[in-house]
Structure 1
Amino acid sequence: MTRSTLTPVLSSYWDEPMSWTLDCYHRHDGYQALRTAVTMAPDDVIGLVKDSGLRGRGGAGFPTGQKWSFIPQGGEGAAAKPHYLVINADESEPGTCKDIPLMMATPHVLVEGAIIAAYAIRARHAFIYVRGEVVPVLRRLQTAVAEAYDAGYLGTDVLGSGFDLDLVVHAGAGAYICGEETALLDSLEGRRGQPRLRPPFPAVAGLYACPTVVNNVESVSSVPAVIRGGVDWFTTMGTEKSPGFTLYSLSGHVTTPGQYEAPLGITLRELLDYAGGVRAGHELKFWTPGGSSTPLLTGEHLDVPLDYEGMAGVGSMLGTKALQIFDETTCVVRAVRRWTQFYAHESCGKCTPCREGTYWLTQIYARLENGDGQRADLDTLLDIADAIFGKSFCALGDGAASPILSSLKYFRAEYEAHLDGGCPFDPVASMLAVPEGALS
């Protein structure tokens, strides 16, 4: 059952002074879930997370406990190799801004979740892969990890359980492609970040060709609350197939942008009520449910549940729940062009559909905006997007194609208006109307 009220769990004390310290975390039941987990068998921890229905919060929504269970156990073959936990904190999707504030405000919840996850999959080493540009986040995490070592939560014989764990905070080199899990693993190993061919999947041959779990920051950070509250508590929130709480990031033309923690299945209309609605004097034109890589939606989708099934039902994806709100002053062609330029710049070049397709898409968008476009260009956009979608080496190609396909579906008339002398929106006013940080 969906509940239309906010459910602050991860964000419940973000506004407290020194919320990032170990003392503050202890005051809010910090590391109590770890104390419980190490008294359980690792397989029982996996079973509990499985039963909770916790789904990955990084975009795909794959069940977290099920992903953990893929790690081979026993003593032969792949099971005899070391196991690794890698946390994907390389948040770089345009519009996505949930993991960085979480790590800034409460880094210890991520550290505790990482220890529990590593214990469950029997990993002796864990890594948090963070974007190198966000130096304050790196420092926050490194300080939290040092505090955890000093308190006996990391290192040898964690809490007297006989479990050993070393946790490393690794600074990435700033490539969007490294948000793709196998490209992240290559980068972590010191190679150029490019997606790997699968199979084998990371659960069999991941980091250093060993069994590896790659989880998103929010996924791992949700684990302590699941352990503390239990399955019955967790499933009182959200929907049957998408249970629990999650962070929705509202940005753009909204009165009060920010992080809104709510049950999965809440609607954008309800979230806009909490955020004061679209900015005064304007109305909603289009929005993204999960960052720039998800098919955009319009005002007719305000009451669609913001869960994995609801978004799939209207041809989009929940993704990272980055709700970018655009009002009627925004040129949809200009917005999608900016996203396309981003994907062309960030393509790793490994596969032809993405490398060549994103380049030619940017050329067509330049013609449309400069008044040199032809009617055939609109069909060419669709053809190229179709040649990329589902045919590139990783999901970057899908992300580049999705806003093009969806914007032509809902706003073809606006594209056609660009054929008669270029962008019908005043360029300066249109650029000022683009929400800061939403497009690049």
Structure 2
Amino acid sequence: MRAEQQYLELFDKERDTLFRHSCDTLNARRDTARRDLDTRGFPTYHDERCKYTDVASAFAPDYGLNLSRIVPSVDPYAAYRCQVPNLSTSLYFVVNDCVMPPSGTNAPLPDGVTLCSMLEAARRCPDLLDAHYGRLADTAADGITALNTMIAQDGLFIHVAAGVKCARPIQIVNVSAAQIDLLSTRRVLIIVEPGAELSLLFCDHSDDRHSYVTTQVVETFVGHDARLNLYSIEETHSGNKRFSHLYADQKDNSRLTLGSITLMAGLTRNRTDIRLTGQGAEACAYGCVVADGKEHVDNNLLVEHAAEGCTSDLLYKYVLDGRAVGAFAGHILVRQDAQHTVSNETNANLCASPDARMYTRPILEIYADDVKCNHGSTIGRLDEQALFYMRQRGIEEAEARLLLQHAFVNDVIRRVELEPLRDRLSHLVEMRFRGLLRRCEGCTMCPQ
């Protein structure tokens, strides 16, 4: 039986429950998504964008789902405290796939900034939700997006009105914690209107008592002259499987910065599709992956230059140890009308163990004749001469290796614009290299 078959049968059996606990906008896309999932199925090794990740095996077990929308009894605001000194954020939680009510201690968001569940958005601003939900997420092209759209009953809605500059970053903590093995379906819609500015930090955590599979689809609209910084940090565990797909559309002179830091994971696949549809738009995407054991981390990006004078910059670095597997593919597509494009893409990787595996594929596909584009990738080990030099000066070998690994990923970390977050990430990466990052710091939700 195909891995997706159990979900198709579940949809047919629980269709009334899915519709009853959701809203018209989400319900309107379900039947089409079901048809697309049945037709296309989950990605396989034959899919160019999923050659190194076994999706079907991840979804094959029988996971529980919260179709009746039972709200978790835990109070995450009491159980979690931010461990980033001097970083003042507006803090919100998503437990499994339930958007939790805001804490009474949260500072109010500025006028013009809306953050709520999609069910609430369907009551407060139905036209805005309906005009954007599902517009970028292509269920016909990706089976995981189709599955997410088919069974998502709620999600996170974030809107910044034109000209509003949200000075305080918004932090979204995604927590996987349940009494059974669980499949969570997360959906996020981000709308940054013309001239607006927003910084978002997503933190992914999970307990280690059960296995979790999460699908997450993020649709992002960045209006002309708008700015969006979106950071993502993952600290989960070996039983966690996470499939995230981000779609972004950028208008004239907009700027989108994506920062992805994977410190601990089981299986993670991040797929990113960015369309630069307005002149002068700029997209920057960078990532740092530290993996060991049998961890598997796959980052796959497509940046489509569809307008003139746009810029893109991709930088991803991996440090792999043990039997970890890393995969990276960065596809820069320059359309014929996208003259004066400037694009840079770099993927550099360290394999600290002979059993670690790294697969890399930078791609340039150019149909315009007046562009400046370059791409490159490297896979190697630590510089033995540098190790020898450091040991000659009295530094122990283990410490020397740690320092060189940290220096290797530091040019990714230093791109984080929020200084407290940048400093904290540097510390977390060091702890990860020392083998000290074995639970989510600052969280008391899980047994110690």
The one of the two structures with greater contact order (alpha-carbon pairs below 8 A, sep at least 6) is 1
If each structure's helix is expressed as a fraction of its own residues, which one has the higher value? Answer: 1
TM-score range (shorter-chain normalised) is under 0.3
If each structure's strand is expressed as a fraction of its own residues, which one has the higher value? Answer: 2
TM-score calculated relative to the size of structure 2: 0.27
TM-score calculated relative to the size of structure 1: 0.28
